[in-house]
A and B are shown apart, each in its own frame.
Chain A
Amino acid sequence: MAVPDVKENFSGTINEVTIGATSEEGGTRTSTVTIGGETGYPMLGFEAEYPHPPAFALEISTAGVEGWHDECRKHLADVAGDLGAWAAKCEEWGADMICLCLDAAHPDNEGRSPQQCADDVKRVLEATGLPLLVWGTDVDEVDNNVLPKCTQAAAGENCLFGTAKEDNYRTIAASCLADNHKVLAEAPSDINLSKQLHILLRDVGVDLADMVMHPTTGALGFGMVYIYTTIERGRIAALSGDRLLQQPVLVNIGKEIGRVKEAVSPAQADPQWGSHEVRAPLWESASAISYVESGAELLVLRNPEALRQAKTAIESMWP
């Protein structure tokens, strides 16, 4: 029986963004990552093009794993004290990128100096050939002091730097422009706020094609669905031709998992939920899959086991 044709065609495409530069491209990375390029809603191979599967970054932090939940920490015990070793391990675990968080620069931690942070960036670049995402502290003054030093230290490597926010984007935008990096634009779960921020960034010279957007992140069962819907809305607008929303989407999942009781509560405390060893990484990979369903292209995780699970699942789903 002939079934009606329900294929959808769109005028818009998600931007392709490449992070990392190999020696031919003036950097020292041994691989680069390209995300985006889809011409339709997530994973519908019968009607659209999906040139790049989602990429996964593993997070490493200059402040170590203090405060990370135990099921994640147990994988990192040997490397958490040494950024270089940690980054190399992430490469071994199959990460496509490293997400370096400059947490130690946060005033609540040791308040690491801009120069020290730049050295951290260098150390990681030396230890791994993977492309780099560098994440500031979310404290505006600190970021504005620290990030310019870091973009400089990584000049030529075509990294992704974050985060630029509506009330603090000028310094990071200027530094990324000067040293040729991509900008991570963060606006809290609202497509209009995202658009506004992209306009601000464009007005100071950042190309719309050099941005990745972060609509903020919640774990599965912990605000995920609000952001899921924000991403879906943005995706619909992007595919209909709105150039201000055609940026690929990043979500930062690893650090959200610690808030979810179902993921972190040990089996003795909550025997009804079954094996904790299974639940902890699975919550992280399930959160990642949830976001891929809505359109996210770059996912930051912490737990290497979650990375393995999510990558395997995506392989079976991606068109």
Chain B
Amino acid sequence: MALTGLEIYMLLPRTNCGDCGVPTCLAFAMKVASKQASFDECPHVTDEAKEKLGAAGAPPQKLVTIGVEKPLKIGNETVMFRHDEKFYNPCGIAVLVRDTDDVARKAQKVKALSFERIGQVIEVDTVALECASGDGETMKAAATELNQSLAGMPMVLIADSSELLAASAGALAASRPLLWERGGPSDALIELAASSGLPLVVEGDLEKCAADAQKAKDAGIEELVLCPGDVGPKEGLQFLTITRRAATQKSYRPLGYPSLIRVTSEDPVAQSLQACHYVYKYAGIVIMDTDQPEYILAPLVARQSIYIDPQRPVQVEAKIYEVNEPDEKSPFLITTNFSLSYYSVFGEVDGSRAPARILAVDTQGTSVLTAWAADAFGPEQIKKAIEKSGVFDQLAEGYRRPVIPGLVAVISGELSEEIGQEVIVGPQEASGLPRFLKNEWPKLVG
């Protein structure tokens, strides 16, 4: 039974002591209602209240934390479609390393898989180490080295038996790795995870995962990750969909955990496309067997996209941005405050090393064409934004000529009348800016 925030609030002590990590009981109740916090995170609730709340008091899918320094938090998802709320915790994208690889070199490669895009860092944030040597000590040495050179990047330790995992798990316990015994977990590994407090993978079909999850939970392990084993993209999607539905729609606890999936294809293109498939459809961690950026970039952008909050357009502050130290004779470009529009322009200007000013007009985070069609990026709005920014005071006579996106070339005449200055029509796409700034702009200003 789902309770409203207010109903949950009534069950709390209402002392606003803050011990739950949220300043007030009401705020905490709202978090529980939206399934973002568990009722037991308030240390002061009575048993009676707990009983009343029952299953509604805990998120349907457990939050699992891997790593310590820059932890990967997965799970706690509540919906099947992002527009129903949003997807909360971006999945981990992991690169597979074998303990027989040149680990130092691999670590360098993994480190390089970090990029900046529309003002955010998108990167491989997890590493998976597989025991291919068949020797626990070799794996431990590799795990230790990887952990050091990747500064504690969250790690999945993979081996065929708990004996092989034991040494690495012990050595890295403080870094909170995720333990994955292939086909497991065996009783021995459950014991190991329980005593060391480490998260654990349960692998197999749905029934086995549910049974093993129950068993591990009974042994005191709270944080589990479900895995269907080495399956193709059809079975993979099926597993990820059913586990997510069982948790979020049926509150079925034994499958109330995030999932991990390893891309099985050997062809790197297929790897990349299958990784995207799993990023969209419900994976908690996707393990890829490639360290080449050209194959990893698409899944990283897919993840960045699907975890955007659909209720809140991603926007930048509407103001003047100065790039590469512009002076009074530098070009003055206009775009919207939709972050994708702004960062496309910014990226091109920055990349071309040309000094310029960019005015991000407040279109409430909509793109150039959408905003124009909605009358939010017309001559009047742009004029107002220019006036408000005071940018003309920073520009010399003859340089107060805004460059507008080529897509809205039709407004140039009217805008020119409004502001009493010549308006320059820029390229249709941001990608045309480097050439424009280099070749056309100098000609235009003589």
A: residues with CB less than 8 A from B are 1-4, 6, 43-46, 188, 220-225, 228-229, 232-233, 236, 258-259, 261-262, 264, 269, 272-276, 278-279, 282-283, 285-286, 289-290, 293-294, 309-310, 312-313, 316-319
Contacts and interface: CB of A to CB of B under 8 A. Distances in A.
Given A221-B301, A313-B274, A1 B211 contact: yes
A3 B252 contact: yes
A247 B276 CA distance: 26
A264 B254 CA distance: 46
Contact of B280 (A2, A290, A319): A290
B280 A232 contact: no
Interface stretch (B127-135, B182-190, B229-237): B229-237
Interface in B194-243: 206-208, 210-211, 214, 232-234, 237-238, 241-242
Interface string B49-66: 000000000000000000
B426 interface: no
A286 to B, nearest CB: 4
B308 interface: yes
Contact of B292 (A1, A2, A43, A274): A274
B407 to A, nearest CB: 11
A289 B305 contact: no
B281 A293 contact: yes
Q: Which of A224, A259, A286 neighbours the largest number of chain B CB atoms within 10 Å of its CB?
A: A286
* Interface of A (DSSP majority class): helix
A283 B268 CA distance: 13
A272 B114 CA distance: 9
A229 B273 CA distance: 19
A274 B207 contact: no
A208 B304 CA distance: 36
Nearest to B273: A313
Given A258-B429, A293-B281, A1 B214 contact: yes
Contacts of B351: 269
A274 B302 CA distance: 18
A286 B302 contact: yes
B280 A293 contact: yes
A285 B273 contact: yes
A259 B431 contact: yes
B21 to A, nearest CB: 31
A293 B294 CA distance: 21
Contacts, number: 149
Interface of B: 81-83, 112, 115, 117, 206-208, 210-211, 214, 232-234, 237-238, 241-242, 245-246, 249-250, 252, 254-255, 265, 268-270, 272-274, 276-277, 280-281, 292-295, 297-298, 301-302, 304-306, 308, 310, 340, 344, 347-348, 351, 367, 370, 373, 429-431
A285 B269 contact: yes
Nearest to A8: B245
A282 B302 CA distance: 13
Given A220-B301, A225-B308, A261-B344, A316 B232 contact: yes
Given A229-B82, A312-B270, A290 B302 contact: yes
Given A274-B293, A289-B273, A310-B273, 16 more contacts: A1-B210, A1-B254, A3-B210, A220-B301, A221-B301, A232-B81, A233-B81, A273-B294, A278-B269, A282-B295, A289-B277, A290-B276, A290-B302, A316-B232, A316-B270, A317-B233
Contact of B234 (A229, A294, A316): A316
10 contacts: A43-B234, A225-B82, A225-B308, A261-B348, A278-B269, A278-B292, A282-B294, A309-B269, A312-B269, A316-B232
A279 B115 CA distance: 15
B372 to A, nearest CB: 12
B298 A282 contact: yes
Contact of B306 (A188, A225, A274, A317): A225
B255 A3 contact: yes
Given A309-B269, A316-B270, A319-B234, A225 B298 contact: no
B85 to A, nearest CB: 12
Contact of B237 (A44, A222, A294): A44
